[in-house]
Amino acid sequence: MTFSAVIVAAGDGLRAGPGDPKAWRILSGRPILRWSVEALLAAGAREIVVVVAADRVATADGALNALSGWRAVAGGPTRAASVRAGLAALPPHPGDVVLIHDAARPFVTRAHVERLIAALADRDGAIPSLPVPDTLKRGDGEVAQTVSRDGLWRAQTPQAFRRAALEAAYRTWPADLEPTDDASVLERAGGRIAMVAGDPMLMKLTYPEDFLMAEHLAGAHRITRIGQGVDAHRFGPGDAVWLCGVRIPHDQGLIGHSDADCALHALTDAILGAIAQGDIGQHFPPSDPQWKGASSDRFLAHAMQLVADQGGRVVNIDLTLVCERPKIGPHRDAMRARIADITGLQIGQISVKATTTEGMGFTGRQEGLMAQAVVMVETLA
């Protein structure tokens, strides 16, 4: 079953202490908002609407660079108003299922999503829930009453709904009341809501100490993979070579089915290798005429999208060019900038180096060029 998602990230998060609002703080090298967007895209979201404060719409582009399938809209003065803004921004789909998620719960996974959607087979909504483990007391500075915890559950997000039912419920919700979650809106309207197994990992980041704990958990939630790529092309007639997406004047060209950019080919293969997705020839076979003369930035962009589809990210790139000529040094910064443009990475995450073989071998005899690439990719565990 396909689904859409609304991620609410418009709050100030005042209880989290000084600093940026929660969604924009950095967790293990990435904005907290990005964790949820990547995870829901990897779980199969058709589209995601991220609801942010009006002055943060442009900020979302930087936080979610290189990801596709999302858009940002301005939220309202309350959480309910923000959810409504997100629902209104989703294009209509018959029988659509929508997930509403708080950006402050970064550790959502495909398993959580699948469990929720399965529960919608005979319900209007589904929520992840955990039993209350602690003894409950009522009072104000002094215990007035011990409250039974029997039958009490902690509701988490994401919460899944049949979209039409949730939207109808919001239309009947009193304007002077603020719901604590979206399930309560549907509950008041008479909707049937399933409770599925929650997960302590779906913790909500609320207080300063929560962020310290999340940093420890983040390492267990992600795995690191290394990929390596190698490519070489022969010199032939021409007046320029393409390397790292940059045209470099030269007294020869490189021979290849596409533009023969061996640097981007090696880099593409390294990324594909890190996520176990074969090699560039499987995705763009040289026997297919549509790739004749193609710009190799298309190959690299495709590999980056596959990483994003798995909820992953490229951490860094290390590229080595092996050749006697042309000289790489004068073009190094332009190469790094072009790779950054294609991948959405920061230029500080990209290294381009050059070496020679001291006259030995085919590169030493200036018969061709070779490129070697190593990348680190971080994906969901």
Q: Residue 4 in contact with residue 48, Cβ under 8 Å? A: yes
- In whole angstroms, what is the distance from residue 96 CA to residue 6 CA? 13
- Strongest mean pLDDT among 2-11, 33-42, 87-96, 227-236: 227-236
Please say if the pLDDT value at position 366 is more than 70. Answer: yes
User: Is the separation of the CB atoms in 337 and 304 below 8 Å?
Assistant: no
- pLDDT, average across residues 262-283: 96
Percentage above 90 pLDDT, the chain: 78
Q: Per the omega criterion (within 30 degrees of 0), is the bond before 106 cis?
A: no
Give the tens place of pLDDT for each residue, 68-108: 899 999 999 999 999 999 999 999 887 799 999 999 999 99
Q: Tell me 311's DSSP state.
A: T
211 or 248, which is more confident: 248
Of 273, 274, 342, 335, the C-alpha closest to 302 is 342
Q: What is the pTM of this model?
A: 0.68
125-131/153-155 β-pairing: antiparallel
Do 85 and 52 contact (CB within 8 A), yes or no? Answer: no
Q: What is the pLDDT of residue 11?
A: 74
For 238: left if phi > 0, alpha if psi spans -120 to 50, otherwise beta; the answer is: left
Helix 262-274 with 297-309: angle, nearest 10 deg: 10
67 pLDDT above the threshold of 90: no
Task: Provide mean pLDDT across the span 362-376.
Answer: 97
Chain mean pLDDT for the chain:
92
**179-232 confidence digits (pLDDT tens):** 999 999 999 999 999 999 999 999 999 888 888 888 878 866 678 899 999 999
pLDDT at 220: 62
Tell me the per-residue pLDDT of 125-135, one tens digit each, with 9 for 90 and over: 999 999 999 99
Region 115-120: mean pLDDT is: 96
pLDDT digits (tens, 9 = 90+) for 345-355: 999 999 999 99
- pLDDT number for residue 214: 87
Helices (H), the chain: 32-42, 57-63, 79-89, 110-119, 163-172, 182-188, 208-221, 262-274, 280-283, 297-309, 332-343, 361-364
Asked whether residue 301 carries a pLDDT value surpassing 60, the answer given is yes
pLDDT of residue 311: 73
- Map out the domains of the chain with their CATH numbers: 3-134+149-206 (3.90.550.10), 222-380 (3.30.1330.50)
Q: What is the pLDDT of residue 296?
A: 94
For residue 342, name the pLDDT band (cuts at 50, 70, 90).
very high
- Treating both helix axes as pointing N-terminal to C-terminal, what angle do 32-42 and 297-309 enclose, rounded to 10 degrees? 90
pLDDT score, position 277: 95
| Percentage of the chain modeled with pLDDT above 70 | 96
